Amino acid sequence: MASASRSLQLSWHRRGYRLIAGIDEAGRGPLAGPVVAAAVVVAPGDDLEGVNDSKALSSTRREGLFRQLVGRVHAYGLAVVSPAVIDEINILQATLLAMGRALLATRVDPDLVVVDGRQRLPYPCCQYALVRGDARCQAVAAASIMAKVVRDRLMLHYHRRYPEYDFQRHKGYGTRQHRQAVLAHGRCPIHRCSFRVA
């Protein structure tokens, strides 16, 4: 599996941006569970071999890379925003909130923040919104892996609490099986009431 492109990141490093924070989220579209964001701060020379967009990796590969990233990168931060907050402020605002909290959790003041997607964060820092950033920038790809792994672990925890929904299989996304389970059992406490089930 080819790694995410290093060219953009290398060009930013060459332009003097030493510490680059990549930010991504997992769980924006599901019917249940939190949205999780990760911020990964990389410095020139950090080893990101094999890092790629989390969607292009198997769960086993993601777990392995997660464990490696913890010791490879300059810093990282994670943040979780609950379904209740998603319902209160909407998924876009909840995603931006999680991303901002993840960045603050790094306890680093990066030279450049690269956010996956079209939205910039409401923070006074040097930022770049990068569409498909998880496939174009290794720092963002690393963040996508960390966010996905943490969210999947949370959904396995919720599967043990609410086994009738089979969260271990679909991770809260709106599959036919999941929708049928909601129709049969109703919503559980981690379902997003602001999202349509049927």
Tell me the per-residue pLDDT of 28-80, one tens digit each, with 9 for 90 and over: 999 999 999 999 999 998 878 888 778 888 999 999 999 999 999 999 999 99
Contact 96, 90 (CB under 8 A): no
Residue 85 corresponds to which amino acid? V
Global pTM reads 0.94
> Cα dist. 125→9, 47, 105, 106, 179 in Å?
18, 25, 15, 14, 41
User: Which of 55, 68, 71, 73 has its CA nearest to residue 147?
Assistant: 55
Average pLDDT of every residue of the chain: 94
| Domain 7-153 = CATH 3.40.50.970 | no
Residue 3 or 191, more confident:
191
Residue 139 has pLDDT above 80, yes or no: yes
Residue 7 confidence (pLDDT): 82
Summarize the confidence of residues 15-32 as an average pLDDT.
97
Q: Measured between alpha carbons, how far is 125 from 123 in angstroms, rounded to an integer?
A: 6
Please tell me the predicted confidence (pLDDT) of residue 198.
67
* 1 band by pLDDT with thresholds 50, 70 and 90: very low
What share of the chain in percent tops pLDDT 70? Answer: 97
Q: Where are the domains of the chain?
A: 7-153
